[in-house]
Structure 1
Amino acid sequence: MAQRIVYWFRNDLRLLDNEALLTACNSSEEILPVFVFDPRQYEKTRLGFRRTSALRAQHLIECVVDLQNKLRRKGGDLLLRIGEPEKIIAQIAEDFEASYVYSTKEIAPEETRIESSLSKNLKLLNIDIKLFWTDTLVHAAELPFPISKLPSSFAEFAGKMRGNLSIKNALPEPEQITLPAEYEAGELPSLKDLQIDPEEIAFVNETIPDSQVTPSNAVDVLSKYLETASDPAGFHALIDSGISQLLSLGYLSPRYVYHAVLSTPESEKRQNLLRDLLERDYFHWTLLRFGPRIFKPSGVKHLFEKRWSNDNTVFETWINGETDDTAVNAIMKKLKTEGNLPASERQKSAEYLANTLDINWTWGAMYFESNLKDYEPSVTWGKWNKVAGVGQD
């Protein structure tokens, strides 16, 4: 058993069914849970808005507080830092003479570059890193085909998966979190600490009630939804129920949600949820298969013949809700103030930008990335690929 392990929280803000965290706790005498706020995530894009909006940043801060409180109830704490994770995690591991760094595996190019940089920094210190795949229903090695043979349509993917689904049961929370005798937890950052002007969301706090889901109420949110009557027509089970937000920052694991859904009686709602969970997985595998192509105008299909306008003035009318379409305008204003939209409204506003205004669809995806509380690279960019006609079917 190792003396000490640094656990790096990323998009897995949970204790329940966190294989990486539980393994770290069971494999060491002491554990150092860490969350790093990376300033690069809050910088302005070339289009003028932040990569992560002030509203979404504030939401993350609140969720990290929630996680910290859960860890404290287990006897532990959460070390909070601001900076580049690849440097900070390595420094903490060195300072505390850790044997390992444990964390979850990401698949987007930027996140994997950070993993690679951290691994290199740790090798210089003779410290190993272990990354756990926890963000899909099954591990990549358990798919009934190699990633290079990923079906070109979700329908084909779902057909292959339905006969090959063997989802492991959810794991329990760690019984106890044991930290070193001396450590510095650090201060929770404010928006100002992240170089964000709090006034960017001041008007929101006066008008929008705080009804967000958090790591603490995630199980209740899921349970209450599963207990409700059937969904209305046009309802997207994962997004419109709020479950997509539970999954995006890892308040719940996909396999926990899967087994909770599976325990309900056979119904259309159950089938829709299982379908949406499979579709989420498909977007993840698409990102793993095609990598950076999903973020380019030509998309995963490499359709170079299609050209979009890069007219920033027209794009600004879409962002600010000043187009000729009043319904789209209302949707965009809601996105800015609430950080969330029903699936049908996401589709409508995306189609309007890409197919009516003919504006570069990647700009729209970047704006959704900035604002959506349930943002996931694979899902958000995958759906925009489909809207633009350059994605998987």
Structure 2
Amino acid sequence: MASTKVVVFFRNDLRVADNYCLNLASKEAAKAKERGDTVEVLPVYCFDPRNFGETEFGSPKTGAYRTRFLLECVADLRHSLQSLGSDLCVSTEAPEALIPRLLQSDGDKRRHIVTCQTEVTSEEMAADEAVERSARGAGGGAEFSMQRVWGATLYHPEDMVHSIEQLPEVFTKWRTQTEAKNVPIRAPQPAPAKGALPLPAKDANAAFWQGCSAPLPTLQDLGFAEGETGEGDPKGVLPFRGGEIAAMARLNHYTLESDALATYFDTRNGMLGADYSSKFSPWLAAGCVSARAVHAACKRYEAERVANKSTYWMTFELMWRDYFKFYVAKHGARLFYPDGVHPREGHKWQKDFSALAAWKEGRTGSPLVDANMREIAATGFMSNRGRQNAASYLVHDLGLDWRLGADHFESLLLDYDVASNWGNWHALAGLQGGRLNRFNIPKQAHQYDPDGAYVRHWCPELARVPRQHVHAPHAMPRALQAEVGCRVGPGGDYPAPQRTLPFSASEVGQRHGDLGGGKRRGGRGGRRRG
């Protein structure tokens, strides 16, 4: 009897609603049933060992915070699939080792399909290719196809004004062209119907059923030290929990429950509290919710409540996320080189491992930078405003290789996304062309943390420092330092400021600038061949 097997290879699309790969599998299963085939749909997630090693710069590739979040995402996905009459095979093997075993079968007429979301960066593409080679070779004469499906962006490349190869080098040009041509945003697709993803018989495909029945790995199974839980500091902005259910709850809270969306444009540069920004990014990065679903929720909010600059700005931010994905797809490995896509003529990155360590530890002597670096170290999250300032300090004030910062964020961020993080760092380093944006960090501190509440939250040694000195504690007289219990300098309670590079002539007119708008966050590093 003819048979069809469809493997759904999950990675950064950990949801059942608006999941193009699941819907493709459902359609293939329906067609196979019409032909009279026996059908198996085999959802798979691998905690790929390569993602839990070290980067080329020596950082943990996936830190404990994101690992804990991913474990919650996968547990939620398994539960959702079970509610549809399906299941999820989970493994700690490399996917190219597991998937061929799931496809082993007998019979004369066999059709094997592996479907996965299209990726645009080299490590993910290499994993695709390894799966395709091993799965094709394991079929024993079966008809085989690898079906990659584009589903990670708000706009589909097929609908855009230009091809990815013709993508403008400047975000604003792409955005205005996209909006002027009224490029459509596809409506979210519902989850497959219950029973639309048929499983193998219980006495068949032992490898699949073994992966379905096995408990999820622990952090220790994935190489983390005993006692490591991946739980962030309760002082963080939000107790992020992974999974599609949590993602939809957050989406509903930020829109219809709290009405926070109505004031998003005015509050988005905050740094304290749960609702100054949407905080959708961890769930978007893991694919627990699609950008299309977020956009649809915003349109519903506009229809039921209000349409204003804030509701538009949420889509604007999603467009930034798209743009970096398309930009990496266009330029590939060049984006990950030290000099990037558009090198700065004559520029050399400095080496100062002591300064780098101080930046990572939040001991630079610049309170706004230090508070943000302590927040990411303690929680895996940092505001967009904080990310821009922390990155500008490393790249422009210290002059260090931007890739060291992108790599550090890759390791720690809950909302790590390859294109978003590395694209943002690349742009801030001045390697995307256009003007160079260097932040005036003292001015930013006074503008966005005027009373010092944020820096005191994460730098308790500054708790009693008066407001006029909280962003420059080194300027306090020695007597006042003693009075408030914050001695500044070697051996003291807080470090003196590091030596930083002066503003160049070309930067003087731009030093109050910023990146021009987006909540551009996330990222994945190392040497890549896009």
What does residue 50 of structure 2 align with?
Answer: 40
Deviation at 1:352, TM superposition (A): 0.8
C-alpha distance in 1 between matches for 2:199 and 2:49: 27
Offset at residue 106 of structure 1 (A): 0.8
Q: Say whether residues 1:195 and 2:223 are aligned partners.
A: yes
**What residue number does 1:84 align with?**
94
1:335 Cα deviation from its structure 2 partner: 0.2
- Aligned with residue 55 of structure 1, among 65, 72, 75: 65
Question: Against the structure 1 CA distance between its residues 47 and 375, is the aligned structure 2 distance closer, same or farther, given a 3 Å change threshold?
Answer: same
Structure 1 range deviating more: 304-313 or 12-21: 304-313
Q: What secondary structure is seen at the aligned counterpart in 2 of 1:31? A: strand
Contact 1:385 1:392 in 2 (8 A): no
Contact 2:14–2:243 at 8 Å: present in 1 too?
no
Partner secondary structure for residue 368 of structure 2? helix
Larger Rg: 2
Q: Is residue 14 of structure 1 aligned with residue 15 of structure 2?
A: yes
**Structure 2 unaligned regions, length at least 5:** 30-38, 203-208, 435-530
Is the 8 Å Cα contact of residues 239 and 342 (structure 1) preserved in structure 2? no
Hey, what does 2:246 align to over in structure 1? 217
Q: Which of 120, 126, 151 matches 2:133?
A: 120
Cα deviation, residue 144, structure 1: 1.2
Q: TM-score, normalised by structure 2?
A: 0.70
Mapping of 1:1-393 within 5 angstroms? 3-28=4-29, 29-94=39-104, 99-124=112-137, 125=139, 126=142, 127-162=144-179, 163-176=181-194, 177-182=197-202, 183-184=209-210, 185=212, 186-201=214-229, 204=232, 210-212=239-241, 214-227=243-256, 228=259, 229-231=262-264, 233=266, 235=268, 240-263=277-300, 264=302, 265-303=306-344, 305-391=346-432
Query: Are 2:265 and 2:313, in contact at CA under 8 Å, matched by a contact in 1?
Result: no
- Residue 172 to residue 2, structure 1, CA distance change in 2 (3 Å): farther
Deviation per CA, 1:340-378: give whole Å up to 9, x if none: 111001111111111111111101001111111111111
1:273-307: CA deviation from partner (whole Å, max 9, x where unpaired) = 11111111111110000011111221121336321
Shift of 1:233: 3.1
Q: Match of 2:147, SS? A: strand
Instruction: Tell me the alpha carbon deviations over residues 318-346 of structure 1, each in whole angstroms, 9 at most, x when there is no partner.
Output: 11111121221111111011111110011
Could you tell me how far 1:211 is from its partner in structure 2?
A: 3.7
Separation of aligned partners in 1, 2:404 and 2:20 = 36
Unmatched runs of 5 consecutive residues or more in structure 1: none
Aligned CA distance change for structure 1 residues 236 and 194 (closer, same or farther; 3 Å): same
Give the superposition deviation at 1:225: 1.3
**CA distance 1:202–1:37, shift in 2 (3 Å):** closer
**What is the CA distance between 1:202 and its match in structure 2?**
6.8
Task: Please give the root-mean-square deviation of Cα atoms over the aligned residues, in Å.
Answer: 2.4
Structure 1 residue 270, shift from structure 2 partner: 1.1
Aligned residues: 393
**Partner Cα distance (1:308, 1:239) in 2:** 35
TM-score, normalising length: structure 1: 0.93
Deviation at 1:119, TM superposition (A): 1.5
Judge conservation of contact 2:54–2:61 (CA < 8 Å) in 1: yes
Cα distance, 1:268–1:202 mapped onto 2, change above 3 Å: closer
Match of 1:240, SS state, is coil
CA distance in 1, matches of 2:121, 2:399: 27
Change (3 A) 1:149 1:207: closer
